[in-house]
Amino acid sequence: MNSEIRKMFCDLLGEDRVFTEEAMSQHTTFKIGGPADYFLMPDKGEDVGRVIKICKEKEIPYFILGNGSNLLVSDEGYCGVIIQLYRNYGGITVEGTNIRAGAGALLSQIASAAKNASLTGFEFAGGIPGTLGGAVVMNAGAYGGEMKDVLKEVTVMTEQGEIMTIPAEKLEMGYRTSLVKKAGYLVLEAVISLKAG
């Protein structure tokens, strides 16, 4: 662990969002995985971009983590930075028949918000483990529905740090793939379009 790099992350995010030698077994659904050098929990897209910029400048490998669903991590851990978007980056807002959610929002939480707002169309995702970000990247689906059926737009960050919003019709979503996956974009948030019912 490099104290200078740790200080850079703490100055950016605050000490309560920066952990060192964090056991990855605490952050995967299979409960396996050794320590990560750095485990960061940003809560704003700008901070995610700044963390990635530091990683690139210092040549530190990084990995974006959601809920850790079905993720296998070595007992040796991860040499680099884990950027978790699950706990602090999962806000959900109902806007009429649309739901705006952060990449770290659990699909089950979004389905619950839809139910509570008497919205239909997202039932297929209620039992899928994982977060919205990963679901968008891979066009997750089950029970005859998939993300491409309900997405209105997705806000992403490019590898260069540019933030842009892409309408659903330009996402090139197919079976377990999307433009987001092909281009290496990072999902920040998405708007899901549902119906009253």
Percentage of the residues of the chain whose pLDDT score is greater than 90: 90
Q: Is 152 a residue whose pLDDT tops 90? A: yes
Q: Is 87 a residue whose pLDDT tops 80? A: no
Banded model confidence at residue 45, pLDDT cuts 50, 70, 90: confident
What's the confidence (pLDDT) of residue 88?
82
Higher pLDDT: 161 or 35? It is 35
Banded model confidence at residue 70, pLDDT cuts 50, 70, 90: confident
Look at strands 195-196 and 35-40 and give their pairing: unpaired
First to last CA, the chain: 52
Q: What are phi and psi of 26, to 5 degrees?
A: -80, -5
Banded model confidence at residue 55, pLDDT cuts 50, 70, 90: very high
Closest CA to 131 of 187, 58, 62: 187
> Which one-letter amino acid corresponds to residue 164?
M
Mean pLDDT over residues 163-175, rounded?
95
Largest CA distance in the chain: 54
Mean pLDDT over residues 171-179, rounded?
94
Q: Are 173 and 150 in contact (CB under 8 A)?
A: no
Q: Is 150 a residue whose pLDDT tops 80? A: yes
Banded model confidence at residue 161, pLDDT cuts 50, 70, 90: confident
Mean pLDDT over residues 81-107, rounded?
94
Identify the sign of the CA torsion 81, 84, 89, 94. positive
pLDDT for 95-143, tens place per residue? 999 999 999 999 999 999 999 999 999 999 999 989 999 999 999 999 9
pTM above 0.75, yes or no: yes
pLDDT for 5-42, tens place per residue? 999 999 999 999 999 999 999 999 999 999 999 999 99
Residue 94 C-alpha from the chain's centroid: 19
The 3-class secondary structure across 53-84, one letter per residue, is: HHHHHCCCCEEEECCCCCCCCCCCCEEEEEEE
